[in-house]
């Protein structure tokens, strides 16, 4: 594999703000200096639609001045069928902005269902290629499976949260890749946690926080209410010592915090505030550190809604959240209800509702765009670094899609966009922007997580 990774990276003191590596020196520098996004990398899945075709990494043109605007301009088909691509990440980000010789060049693309890890070389931004594949056996060797969040950490190494053991049961843990993107081993001592899902780290506070979904054998077949009653879904946050790699504090969110998914620290590395969305309980928790202890409080609640044909009120199911790079706004999507929302978090303890859009899902006001039915509600989100364009996709996970929005398997999903005015705190649906993953040469596909070639609001961390 062609690589610029080297053990001879020139490391400078981040505190002196020398900038010789990838990314930006500060979040504000990313806001002010990043070029407008022209391409998006998007996970595309055929799992549950046509398993004779492999999943793929889509290269989507998001340049409004381009002739191929809103089209897939290339795709990297994976060598195997049935991986279920979910989340992915870079080999290097702003956490390495002080380390010369590194590039934000390789994407680590895991298959959540297969446990296979794909390393994609994006040196040619428009036409990336697979550099190598790490087979599941190399992951299972460490009694881990079902990779989820990929975070680059300083120096070009990578940590991946793993949701299960080698058999798909609990406990999960974390896998570490070295700076050549080979499996280095477990990042954490085995037995620190049971459930696992997302994580985010904040080195200046010696902190990492991880959240909880369920064992792969529980969530991969689809959602079953009996698993909730049996306690098979998580409801805790784990706060780790980043340096010691051990859990220092566990906070039980209780019945109001069922299935805590995406965790987002504020970007400013001095801040010890963040948020997590409890999907099944339909609310948002604020967490913060004070006097050496971590605290949590529910700060946003979404009411369930009655729907004919349902024998219980429909929960909102907020499945993804993100924080704008300037730490001003928190965004999220209520997948079942079909609501995209925006809160002012200038005071993180007291979020103020700024705006919402009603698109797709069971209750969305907009159910058709450019003659195309919008089936699922807003799911995975990505925001431009300047905070002026918010993008989202509508697929959650193949088996969960098939339960709640079975039309996704017939029509594929879509990628949509809203124009944001950060000064006024408003969003406007861009009715001219629609990327149709149902209209592809080899059949419909599901679109999931998105990344920008120059970094984004859900992958960059500052040391």
pLDDT digit string (tens) for 73-115?
999 999 999 999 999 999 999 888 888 889 999 999 999 999 9
Place of tokens 């006097």: 291
| Tens-place pLDDT, residues 188-213 | 999 999 999 999 999 999 999 999 99
C-alpha to C-alpha distance for 339 and 361, rounded to whole angstroms: 8
- Mean pLDDT is lowest, of 17-21, 396-400, 415-419, for 17-21
pLDDT for residue 5: 42
- What percent of the chain shows pLDDT beyond 70? 96
Place of tokens 């843990």: 173
C-alpha to C-alpha distance for 100 and 5, rounded to whole angstroms: 10
pLDDT for residue 4: 45
Query: And the tokens for 272?
Result: 């010890």
CB atoms within 10 A of CB 4: 15
Q: How confident is the model at residue 463 (pLDDT cuts 50, 70, 90)?
A: confident
E strand segments, 396-456? 414-421, 426-429, 435-436, 446-451
C-alpha to C-alpha distance for 213 and 265, rounded to whole angstroms: 19
- What percent of the chain shows pLDDT beyond 90? 90
| Tens-place pLDDT, residues 304-342 | 999 999 999 999 999 999 999 999 999 999 999 999 999
- Going 187 to 192 to 195 to 199, the CA torsion angle's sign is negative
Residue 82 CA, chain-centre distance (Å), reads: 20
The DSSP bridge partners found for residue 353 are 343
Query: And the tokens for 456?
Result: 């984004």
Q: How confident is the model at residue 18 (pLDDT cuts 50, 70, 90)?
A: confident
Which stretches of 193-342 are DSSP H helices? 216-219, 225-229
Place of tokens 């989100």: 381
- Give the closest residue to 207 by CA, choosing from 269, 252, 163, 151: 269
pLDDT for residue 417: 98
C-alpha to C-alpha distance for 432 and 272, rounded to whole angstroms: 39
C-alpha to C-alpha distance for 201 and 269, rounded to whole angstroms: 10
Query: And the tokens for 324?
Result: 């704008």
C-alpha to C-alpha distance for 270 and 188, rounded to whole angstroms: 25
Contacts of 298 (CB under 8 A, 6+ apart): 256, 257, 283, 284, 285, 286
Residue pair 459/152 in contact by the 8 Å Cβ criterion: yes
C-alpha to C-alpha distance for 382 and 392, rounded to whole angstroms: 6
Question: What's the whole-number mean pLDDT along residues 167-196?
Answer: 97
Query: And the tokens for 97?
Result: 């902005």
Q: Which helix (H) or strand (E) holds 161?
A: strand 157-164
pLDDT for residue 12: 46
Q: What is the residue-averaged pLDDT of the chain? A: 94
Q: How confident is the model at residue 17 (pLDDT cuts 50, 70, 90)?
A: low
pLDDT for residue 15: 52
- pLDDT of 2 higher than 60: no
Question: Kind of pairing, strands 99-100 and 10-11?
Answer: antiparallel
pLDDT for residue 6: 42
Question: What's the whole-number mean pLDDT along residues 153-163?
Answer: 94
């Amino acid at each position: 594999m062609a690589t610029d990774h080297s053990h001879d990276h020139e490391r400078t003191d981040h505190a002196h703000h020398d900038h010789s590596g990838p990314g930006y020196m500060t979040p504000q520098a990313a806001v002010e200096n990043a070029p407008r996004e022209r391409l998006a990398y998007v996970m595309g899945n055929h799992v549950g639609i046509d398993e004779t075709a492999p999943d793929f990494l889509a290269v989507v043109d998001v340049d409004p001045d381009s002739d191929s605007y809103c089209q897939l301009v290339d795709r990297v088909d994976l060598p195997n069928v049935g991986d279920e691509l979910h989340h992915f990440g870079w080999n290097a980000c702003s956490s390495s902005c002080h380390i010369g010789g590194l590039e934000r060049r390789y994407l680590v693309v895991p298959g959540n269902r297969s446990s296979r890890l794909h390393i994609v070389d994006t040196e040619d931004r428009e036409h990336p290629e697979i550099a190598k594949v790490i087979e599941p056996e190399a992951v299972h060797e460490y009694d881990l499976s079902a990779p989820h969040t990929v975070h680059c950490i300083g120096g070009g190494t990578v940590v991946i949260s793993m949701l299960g053991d080698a058999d798909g049961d609990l406990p999960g843990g974390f896998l570490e890749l070295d700076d050549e993107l080979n499996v280095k081993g477990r990042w954490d001592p085995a037995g620190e946690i049971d459930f696992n899902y997302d994580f985010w780290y904040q080195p200046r506070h010696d902190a990492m926080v991880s959240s909880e979904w369920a064992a792969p054998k529980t969530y991969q077949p689809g959602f079953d209410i009996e698993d909730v009653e049996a306690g098979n879904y998580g409801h805790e946050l784990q706060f780790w010592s980043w340096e010691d790699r051990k859990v220092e504090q566990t906070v039980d969110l209780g019945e109001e915090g069922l299935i805590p998914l995406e965790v987002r620290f504020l970007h400013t590395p001095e801040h010890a505030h963040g948020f997590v969305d409890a999907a099944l309980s339909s609310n948002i928790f604020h967490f913060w550190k004070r006097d050496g202890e971590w605290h949590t409080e529910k700060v946003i609640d979404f009411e369930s809604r009655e729907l004919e044909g349902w024998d219980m009120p429909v929960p909102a199911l907020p499945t993804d959240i993100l924080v704008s790079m300037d730490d001003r706004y928190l965004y999220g999507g209520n997948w079942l209800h079909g609501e995209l929302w925006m809160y002012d978090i200038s005071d993180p303890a007291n979020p103020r509702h700024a705006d919402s859009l009603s698109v797709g899902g069971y209750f969305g006001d907009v159910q058709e765009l450019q003659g195309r039915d919008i089936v699922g509600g807003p799911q995975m989100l990505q925001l431009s670094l300047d905070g002026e364009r918010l993008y989202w996709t509508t697929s959650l996970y193949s088996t969960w899609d098939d339960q709640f929005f079975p039309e996704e398997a017939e029509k594929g999903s879509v990628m949509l966009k809203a124009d944001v005015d950060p000064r006024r705190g408003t969003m406007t649906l861009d009715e001219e922007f629609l990327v149709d993953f149902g209209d592809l040469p080899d059949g419909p596909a599901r679109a999931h997580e998105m990344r920008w070639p120059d970094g984004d609001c859900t992958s960059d961390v500052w040391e």
